[in-house]
Each structure stands twice: as structure tokens, then as C-alpha cells.
Structure 1
Amino acid sequence: MYNGFINVLKPTGMTSNDLVGKLKYLTRTHLGEKIKFGHTGTLDPNAAGVMMVCCARATKFSQYAVEKKKTYIAEITFGKTTDTMDTYGQVTEEKEPGILSRQEIEDVLSKYKGETMQIPPKFSAIKINGQKLYDLARKGLEIPEIKSRKINITKLEIIDYSHPRIKIEVECSAGTYIRSLAQDIGQDLGEFAHLSLLIRTKVEDFSIEESYSIEELDFLIGQGKFTQVIVKPENLLSKYPNLVIKDECQKSYLNGMHLTQRDLKSEIEKEVLDSRHKVYNESGDFLGIGNLKKNYNSNYVLKSETQI
């Protein structure tokens, strides 16, 4: 009944886990039910904006939602760096910032468009040897070497520049750290820099304008309108093509059996072979994510990967 995702407007000062806990509290209080929730990737406590939260059986699909492209409005302030790379850390270096031209900044920003490598911040949720980096950093323990990761920035534009701050819009792949980007941009400009504001405005096609604040969710759940805020799980999996299986094959499919073309209502499209698909029955019910692969006879077969 409650399987799906919720587009939540996370406020500043709240962790991603805090947000999940708040939703559990609201549904338990208003509905008298213990419903499972999970987030689809962390958003810094000091950042605000869109968080897609999975609900009930849709928590199984959080791994696919994490992969989604994100869009941010970020403000970078020149003149100092901090240990957390944002305004909430301890200042590590400071100097009077130089006057930069808009063209100088745009030239540097152009270097980060497309696929690049990025070193995540030490204050992050990344795990090394089973420990989260921010736990080690807060305890003052030695931080292991952090390996660079491939990221992809598809949009990086100046919205406003008023010395010593620039406001930019960033559209990027999952796993991109805007705090690291801010400091790297500063270094390339010969300036100390840190992230002074961060708002996530989109997760793929889900925008901040369509998001629900905690106060709105509190009211709507209390009014018995919780289902109105839930997005169907398949709507967040739009990048995967559809396949329809015959009703008489549904039980076999859900029991882990391989299906072949004769078991499908859909024709297998040659350009999407060896890939994940959203799988439906003939009535249009979403059954989950299936994998289409070649078997040992080089015939293509469909196997369930994640079921709703």
C-alpha cells in the first residue's frame, strides 16, 4: 500500500538518517503503523533540498535510486579553507582573496565539465576498512589514503558573481562531492575557498518545487493522505526499459526461473540486451527489476533481480 518513494525537502541541520527517523515517527504517530523507510544516498547535514526517501517494499530499490543524476545550487566563498570544506568546519588557511574576473572563473569551471577524477572529503560517509571517514576525522584519528573517484559533471554554470562569492549550478553524477569541487575550483584560481551554501534542487526529474517539507508531511499524514505523496517505485526507475511477461509465467518468474522470448508479451529490443528492465505482468502490475542476459546457449533470458 505504501510502496514507493517520497520527494522530501530536507532542511539544514538535519542528517539523512534523522530525516528517515522523523518519517518513521510521523507514520507511527498518525497511522499507528511501523513502516520501513530508507534514504537513497546522503545529503550533507548542512545542506538542504531534495531527498528521495524510499518507503516499505520500495526500500529494495534504493540501490537504483542512488545512481540518479543530481542538480545543485552552490555558493563558493573565497578567502579561507576549512577542514570540512564548508562553513561549519575549523578554518585551516586564510588570506585576503584577490579580485577575479568572471572569465577567469568560467575558464576554470570548464575544466571540470565531463568526466574527471575527484578525491572525496575526509568528512564524508565513505567507508574505508568498515569505518566512516567522518567518524575517524571527528575523533582526530589518522585518515587512510582516500582514493580518487570518477565523476561526471554535465552542467557547471555561474548564476551570480559578487566578490568574494560565486553562485553556481551543478548537474552531476551520483557520488560527486560539491565541497571538494568548491575547494578544487579555489585552488585552480589560486585562492582559498570553501562551500558556503548548498541546495539540492533535483534528483533526476524530481524537483525541489515538487518536494514536501516535514511540516507538510506531518499535516498530510495526519489527514490520512499519505498515499498522495508517494511516487510509484517504477517512476524513479525511468531509465530502465519495460518488459511485459505473460501472466501464466509470473509465478515462475517470481520464483527465480529464467524466462525466454516465448514467455514474454514484449519483443526483446536488440539495442537494450544485457541490461536491467522494469518488469510488468499483462495487467500492468509492476513486478520489479529483471536482468536480460545471454545464457550458455547464447539465447537471451530474463531473470528477476529485485522484486517489489
Structure 2
Amino acid sequence: MARRRRGLPVDGVLLFDKPKGASSNQILQRVRRLFQAQKAGHTGTLDPMATGLLPICFGEATKFSSYLLDADKVYRTRVKLGEVTDSGDAEGEVVERCAVPPLTADDIERVLEGFRGEIEQTPPMYSALKHQGRKLYELAREGKTVVRAVRRVTVYDARLLAHDAEGFELEVRVSKGTYIRTLAEDIGRALGCGAHITALRRLKTGPFSGEAMLDLAALEALQDQAAREAQLMPVDVLVEHLPALDVDAEQAGRLLHGQPIHSERLALDAGSLTRLYRDETFLGLGTVKTAGEIAPRRLLNTAAAATSDGRA
């Protein structure tokens, strides 16, 4: 007999403003308890020292959280010149000190130009990537270093916001898998004096920006469960970039039974994904198999209620 999951069946997406000092998982568990939710997950780890946008998915939304993991992101960071740390940020131990040459904004801009576009990065040891089943940061804390494969990432934009004798502030828009600590270290190396970050804030991820974020104090001020759930965005906000298809009751029933449907209303290539709706209710995602044929890919457990005849 299946164990009954504790908590409430909460579904949706919360745009949370992560505070400094807590891990993403610590925040996730605290917010999940606050919502009394059966299931929750986040869409990309932020380091404990980092702040800002941490989308948290509840219930059915966790099925689609992977679409945010692949999204582009925007960060604002403070880079301190003249010191290299073992972690690439202010929480690490200083392992190298260098004199900082007099730098103008033009000097920094010339170096930044070499880091715009597609670049190569070596992931830091202080990261959650795994080596032989163990996270790299666990090995790093034991004083161990392993060879990491170089990866190609894209820096779509890097804007210098301010600078002084000690460092500068930078806003960057990057592809998935880009480490801002590593980017800052590489820029510092190119400037000839080394660097590490002292502050990092995520401003955007995919279609979401920080304007609608809520912090823990704001959530705790909402004493009513209904008021808290009213802050959630709908599940399909995670896949709004995909084309949509409305289906009738018969087609919805076939999809819910794992059967493909036929529709000539979408001109998509085989392998493409589409959002599926019945009477404006999100059912889940379908995959285009051949011209006009769409098979269910990932459906909501609640999708059966959207069919007019109630079949499940």
C-alpha cells in the first residue's frame, strides 16, 4: 500500500528572494514547511553567500522545473581585485595577493570584451558537480583537487556598473552552467592582479525577473494559507515559451490514457514539445511524433478533472 504523502497538495511557482548565508536547500525546506506543501523543489542552486531570485516549485510544478535549469540567467556581482581565494569568493581563504595596477574604466572594458560571447571555463572545485559519486566541494574541503573538464559557456552581456581602486561591480547575462566566481577569477587574471567575488545577486532566470520576488518576512506575514497560495504563479508559467494546443474532451481522454492524438493545427517538427490545454486548463506537455500526431510527454495528475466526461 502506497504511503500517503504528508502535507497539502500545493501547486505553483514562487519567486523567492534568497537571503545571504543560507543554502538553497535550507531555504527550500523552510518555505515548504511554511506552505505545508507535500512536495517542493528549486530550479538551480545559489551559493550560501549569494542572494536573489530562487524560483521554488510546488507539487505539479516540480515536473517542469528542469526547463528553468537550462535557462539564461542575469547576475550582479562585486569583484575584489588583488586577492585570489581557494573558493573564488569572500568565504574562502586567501591563497594569493597581488598589487593592483591603476585601472581606468577603459582598461576594464578592454578586458571584458574578451569575455563576451562563447568562452571556455573550468568549473571550480567548490561546486556541486560530482567526481566518482562525490561532490567537488566535499573533496575541496578535504584539500583535494581533481581534474575538471573544460566546458563552453556563453556570456551574452557583461556591463561594467562601477569601479574603484579595489575592484568593480559587474552585471552579466550568461548561459546555463556559467560560474560567476570563475568568470571573476579569469577576468582578474587577465587584468594581471587576480580577483574574487565579494557579493553576488541573481536578478533574472529565464522569463522571471526579481520584481515579483517575496522574501521570508513577507511570506511569514501572511497568516492565512489561502493568502500564501495566492502568491504562487501557475504551473504552466515554466513552459510558456512552448507553443500551445487546445484539445477537445475526446482528445484529452486519449492523452490521459497514454494514447496519441491527431491535430493539424500545429505545424511543428518531429520531437518538438507543445503545451496541452482543455478549456484553458493546463494538462501538461505533448511530443510531436510525426506530422499531425502528438503523444503525451508529461501530464498533470490533476489533468483528469479537465475532461468534460471525467475520464481518468
Structure-2-length-normalised TM-score = 0.89
User: 1:19-64 deviations in whole A, cap 9, x for unaligned?
Assistant: 1110122123xxxxx4211010101110000000000111111111
Letter in 2 for 1:10: K
Match runs of 1:94-243 below 5 Å: 94-140=97-143, 142-220=144-222, 222=224, 224-243=226-245
- Counterpart residue number, 2:305: none
Percent identical residues: 33
Cα distance in structure 2, aligned partners of 1:185 and 1:14: 27
1:280 equivalent in structure 2: 277
Q: 2:14: which partner in 1? A: 6
2-structure distance, mates of 1:185, 1:150: 16
1:38-53 residue pairs with structure 2 within 5 A?
Answer: 38-53=41-56
Tell me the CA shift for residue 246 of structure 1.
2.4
Q: Secondary structure in 2 aligned to 1:224?
A: helix
Question: What's the CA shift for 1:273?
Answer: 5.0
Match of 1:35, SS state, is coil
Residue 67 (1) aligns with residue 70 (2): yes
Name the CA distance, whole Å, in 2 between partners of 1:268 and 1:164: 56
Alignment-derived partner of residue 305 in structure 1? 297
Cα deviation for residue 154 of structure 1 reads 1.4
| Alignment root-mean-square deviation, CA | 1.7
The answer to whether the 8 A contact 1:27-1:221 is kept is no
- Please state whether the residue corresponding to 1:75 is helix, strand or coil: strand
Query: How much does 1:223 deviate?
Result: 5.9
Shift of 1:209: 2.4
Q: State the Cα deviation string for residues 116-141 of structure 1 (Å, max 9, x = none).
A: 2211111011122221111111122x
Is the counterpart of residue 87 in structure 1 residue 84 in structure 2? no
- Structure 1: runs of 5+ lacking an equivalent: 29-33
Alignment equivalent of 1:258, drawn from 255, 260, 268? 260
Shift of 1:254: 2.2
Question: How big is each residue's C-alpha offset from its partner over 1:168-206, in whole Å with a ceiling of 9 and x where there is no partner?
Answer: 111111211100000011111111100111011112232
Match for 2:286 among 270, 286, 290? 290
- Structure-1 separation of matches of 2:262 and 2:193: 59
How many aligned residue pairs are there? 292
Task: Give the distance between the partners of 1:11 and 1:150, measured in 2 at CA.
Answer: 30
Cα shift at 1:235: 1.4
Determine the C-alpha separation between the residues in 2 that align with 1:48 and 1:174. 18
1:44-90 deviations in Å (ceiling 9; x for gaps): 11000000000011111111121122111111110110010000001
**Cα offset, 1:230, TM superposition:** 0.5
Distance across 2 between alignment mates of 1:186 and 1:300: 54
SS in 2 for 1:156: strand
CA 1:245 to 1:198, structure 2 compared with 1: closer, same or farther past 3 Å? same
Partners of 2:17 and 2:190 lie apart in 1 by: 33
What code does the residue aligned with 1:291 have? T
Output one character per residue of 1:237-264: Cα deviation in whole Å (capped at 9) or x when no partner: 22211122222011221222222226xx
Q: 1:206 to 1:254 in 2, by over 3 A?
A: same
Q: Contact (CA 8 Å) 2:53, 2:210: kept in 1 or not?
A: yes
TM-score normalised by the chain length of structure 1: 0.90
Q: Deviations over 1:269-304 (max 9, x none)?
A: 24x6532221112x011111222133xxxx452122
